[in-house]
Structure 1
Amino acid sequence: MAQLSDDVFAAGEAPMTIEQAVGFLLARVADAPEIEQVGLHEADGRILAQDVTAARCLPGFDNCAVDGYAARFADLALHGDSVLKIGARAAAGRPLERLAPGPADFAGAAVRIFTGAAMPDGFDTAFMQEDCRRLEGGEVVLPAGLKRFANVRRRGEDVATGDVALKAGRRLRPEDLALAAALGLPTLPLRRRVTAALFSTGDELASPGERLGPGGAYDANRFMLAALLRRQGVEVSDLGVLPDERRVIAAALREAAGAHDLVLSSGGVSVGEEDHVRAAILERGSLDFWRLAVKPGRPLAMGVLDGTPFVGLPGNPVAAFIGFIFVARALVAALGGAVFEPPRFARAVAGFSYKKKPGRREFVRVSLVDDGSGLPRAEKYPLDGAAALTSLTRTQGLVALPEALREVAPGDVVSFVDYDLIR
């Protein structure tokens, strides 16, 4: 596990942009060094620890991309169709089968060939069978117009021997596993999964299925954050709801910090009489409050407990969601040795009016409407409070309004990011 110094998150009191906060984290947090060899069936979503260098090329030989006929380009007529004797047959994984007498190298002949079959030596052009015409005498008419190497997959055109096929820090996707398999690799060197302890505090909170007390509420953030962490490949230990007792919280935090790479909570990290998390962390570490130039999601607590990072997200669900997606996710990437990928925004047209304060970035929850006019239209959800969970469940994504902007009018071009691209 990464061991951080107590002052690693000390960032001053000036409000930070998201980019400043992410840059701060990536520059100060080192990934855990542990590497393990993992089979391809278990590697999806994991972080590649080392570059994968191809020990063989792809394809490993020139092969045909279609069902049809192969020929030597030099044997084709300069003008008009070519008529060649069919001298052999080639199928994927089978040796070349002679069909008619002729030169040992089938010069001047065509080869009946199928997709994936190795191109015979010297043969460099393939014709689709639907473009050709068989003659009764065992000949085939090949149409004019193809260039040399048409319909041929060249040896090494996909990956050459010695190429870096997959770069370290990449979160592996199904297509990456296909490439590794095609290179003949049964296992890959992966980073150990990041482990995170997750908890909530508050005597008023109960987990779903439990009985609510007077003035009680069900704990929602813990389940959202657990799912967000797991989607980043993190192994989550759910500590449940801790009571508002400093001694209990301190003991739970010490145990969690000793066994995990990250400790995460939402809400309850302030200076009130019943906010014991701050005091419990300060017993064995440090806690810094970051002011983000963001709405919702301005307050963020970053701390170190016995060398383990602690993140305290805001208590309102939307603020916790945005704080995790845009900032805490970068910390998870750094701890796991992953290359952090910032959200990719697309263009949309505002279908709403909105006024904001300059100096902070605001995120508006929206749904997209395709009216056929070009860019999709972003329609704002009517409830925009940071506690409105339906503003996340009934929308498709976020419109980011930059710090300098003061007002949005219908028809303005805005930046939109889909939830599916950031969680």
Structure 2
Amino acid sequence: MSCCDAPNLMPIEDALQHMLSGIKPIQQSVELKLQDAIGFVLAEDLLSPINVPPFDNSAMDGYAIRIADLEKSDTLPLAGKSFAGQPFEGNWPADTCIRIMTGAKIPAGCDAVIMQEQTETTDSGIRFTNQKVKHNNNIRPVGDDIQKGDVALAKGARLTSRDLPMIASLGISHIKVLRKPKVAFFSTGDELKPLGQPLEEGQIYDSNRYGIKPLIEKFGCEAIDLGIIPDNPETLKATFERAQSEADVVVTSGGVSVGEADYTKDILDEIGQIGFWKLAIKPGKPFAFGQLDNAWFCGLPGNPVSAFITLYVLVQPLLAKLGGHTEWKPQPFIPAITKNGFKKSPGRTDYQRGIYTIEDGQFYVETTGNQSSGAFRSMSLANCFVVLEQNRGRVEAGETVQVQMFSSSLY
């Protein structure tokens, strides 16, 4: 008896543990130009080759002073200027000040910068209206942000638009990253029709690939779209063989339930070790996972919402581990008060689609309406999942539930 025939449903946590236990991160690395590295995962710790800033500099537009000089007089003649990229050079006479701009190098001997808003220009020089100045006031010391030899970013971090400017500030133009996992995907079913063609009796448009591709790419992987494959054993097997020759992971939508035309199970028994599960998740019970000869396999259900949610909840952590993204974490759960009831029967963890709001610091959530696994508008309208526990029953208005806000991959 296969897992698919087992009377008990596998909890999501057990399924994830089983999936992730055999995954080993990709070790192949490539060197890229910094501007091309966004979305890639660091292959090694990034050590800073320099101090940032490389010299003491001013945090304000104002005047560089020596506190001992200011203690003698509240007015100091101007001795020169220090601009960013044009530092003050030469001798700095006693009992004078230097005009300085934000980011400019601090002149030797300066122990404070006074912002220009606390000064007045007079015939005798610059008058300082605030003489209670602390040492190193408004001075950013060398290495204040990053010191030479520091781990600026750890191995396993996925590079974002927030990281690239920081790396550039270190003068690093090329970076060593892991190659992205390759994910081949296709839809199965004679009923599926490509966009742009008229529907015939009993046909529907293939919408799943339009959700799968962007999610795979936002997960930090390379997506290989193999299109729509009809319910034909020879064609399906050839497609699987091609997919596993080109990719690290093969993802299908449809063909993993128990219908008479679901040939996927038989084909995969020939070319891999596959465990088909009935998972305790709603929507998405008919989810499959296993290993082909040369790739991992994830079989998503055919219903659009089921395919989308199982890809997000189950396949995303697999791809993160495969891609070496050690900092990946699922979105946290947040308690929220329901504004309406939610239909629910015990037995499966239910990912219903909701809309959360915050009122006076309290999270509230309401349903997006039709929660059918074939009604994708519920996903389009939502901004969170309402995650109802496996053993929980119907939820009434005013009860507390757990919501999981969408990650950036869903935007």
Q: Partner of 2:342 in structure 1?
A: 354
- Report which stretch shifted further, 229-238 or 388-397: 229-238
- Report which stretch shifted further, 291-300 or 352-361: 352-361
CA distance in 1, matches of 2:144, 2:30: 31
- Report which stretch shifted further, 35-44 or 358-367: 358-367
* AA matched with 2:41: I
Matches within 5 A, 1:39-58: 39-58=33-52
List per-residue Cα deviations over 1:72-123 (Å, max 9, x = no partner): 3444439xx833232221000113156xxxxx35444321100110111231
Q: 2:80 aligns with which of 76, 82, 88?
A: 88
SS in 1 for 2:375: coil
What is the count of residue pairs matched by the alignment?
Answer: 406
- Report which stretch shifted further, 200-209 or 141-150: 141-150
Q: 1:336 to 1:154 in 2, by over 3 A?
A: same
CA distance in 1, matches of 2:338, 2:112: 52
* AA matched with 1:167: A
Q: 1:69 to 1:198 in 2, by over 3 A?
A: same
- Report which stretch shifted further, 223-232 or 120-129: 120-129
Q: Partner of 2:333 in structure 1?
A: 345
* CA displacement at 1:309 relative to structure 2: 0.4
List per-residue Cα deviations over 1:208-235 (Å, max 9, x = no partner): 1123232111111111101111112222
CA distance in 1, matches of 2:45, 2:20: 20
List per-residue Cα deviations over 1:310-354 (Å, max 9, x = no partner): 100111211211111111001111221112321233443321223
* AA matched with 1:57: N
* CA displacement at 1:142 relative to structure 2: 4.7
Matches within 5 A, 1:372-411: 372-411=359-398
* CA displacement at 1:358 relative to structure 2: 4.1
Q: Partner of 2:319 in structure 1?
A: 332
1:77 and 2:71 correspond = yes
Q: 1:18 to 1:153 in 2, by over 3 A?
A: farther
Instruction: Answer whether contact 1:86 1:140 (CA < 8 A) is retained.
Output: no
Matches within 5 A, 1:54-133: 54-77=48-71, 82-97=74-89, 104-133=91-120
Matches within 5 A, 1:179-328: 179-328=166-315
CA distance in 1, matches of 2:71, 2:85: 31
List per-residue Cα deviations over 1:275-296 (Å, max 9, x = no partner): 1111111111121123433222
SS in 2 for 1:203: coil
* CA displacement at 1:404 relative to structure 2: 4.9
Instruction: Answer whether contact 1:349 1:376 (CA < 8 A) is retained.
Output: yes
- Report which stretch shifted further, 63-72 or 355-364: 355-364
Instruction: Answer whether contact 1:204 1:213 (CA < 8 A) is retained.
Output: no
Instruction: Answer whether contact 1:127 1:142 (CA < 8 A) is retained.
Output: no
Instruction: Answer whether contact 1:135 1:141 (CA < 8 A) is retained.
Output: no
CA distance in 1, matches of 2:373, 2:237: 29
* AA matched with 1:50: E
Q: Partner of 2:354 in structure 1?
A: 366
Q: Partner of 1:174 in structure 2?
A: 161
* CA displacement at 1:300 relative to structure 2: 1.5
Q: 1:146 to 1:407 in 2, by over 3 A?
A: farther
* AA matched with 1:361: T
CA distance in 2, matches of 1:408, 1:82: 71
- Report which stretch shifted further, 384-393 or 66-75: 66-75
TM-score of the aligned structures, taking structure 1 as reference length:
0.89
Instruction: Answer whether contact 1:25 1:330 (CA < 8 A) is retained.
Output: no
Q: 1:61 to 1:290 in 2, by over 3 A?
A: farther
Instruction: Answer whether contact 1:254 1:305 (CA < 8 A) is retained.
Output: no
* CA displacement at 1:63 relative to structure 2: 0.6
CA distance in 1, matches of 2:104, 2:50: 18
SS in 2 for 1:288: strand
- State the percentage of identical aligned residues: 36
Instruction: Answer whether contact 1:258 1:306 (CA < 8 A) is retained.
Output: no
Q: 1:227 to 1:146 in 2, by over 3 A?
A: same
Instruction: Answer whether contact 2:67 2:133 (CA < 8 A) is retained.
Output: no
Q: Partner of 1:4 in structure 2?
A: none
List per-residue Cα deviations over 1:337-384 (Å, max 9, x = no partner): 1123212334433212235344542222111344x4332421112211
CA distance in 2, matches of 1:269, 1:404: 25
Q: 1:67 to 1:13 in 2, by over 3 A?
A: farther
Q: 1:66 to 1:130 in 2, by over 3 A?
A: same
- Report which stretch shifted further, 136-145 or 297-306: 136-145
Q: 1:252 to 1:302 in 2, by over 3 A?
A: same
Instruction: Answer whether contact 2:84 2:101 (CA < 8 A) is retained.
Output: yes
RMSD: 2.4
CA distance in 1, matches of 2:258, 2:403: 36
* CA displacement at 1:420 relative to structure 2: 4.2
CA distance in 1, matches of 2:271, 2:290: 10
- Report which stretch shifted further, 104-113 or 191-200: 104-113
SS in 2 for 1:94: coil
Instruction: Answer whether contact 2:75 2:124 (CA < 8 A) is retained.
Output: no
CA distance in 2, matches of 1:118, 1:247: 72
CA distance in 2, matches of 1:74, 1:348: 59
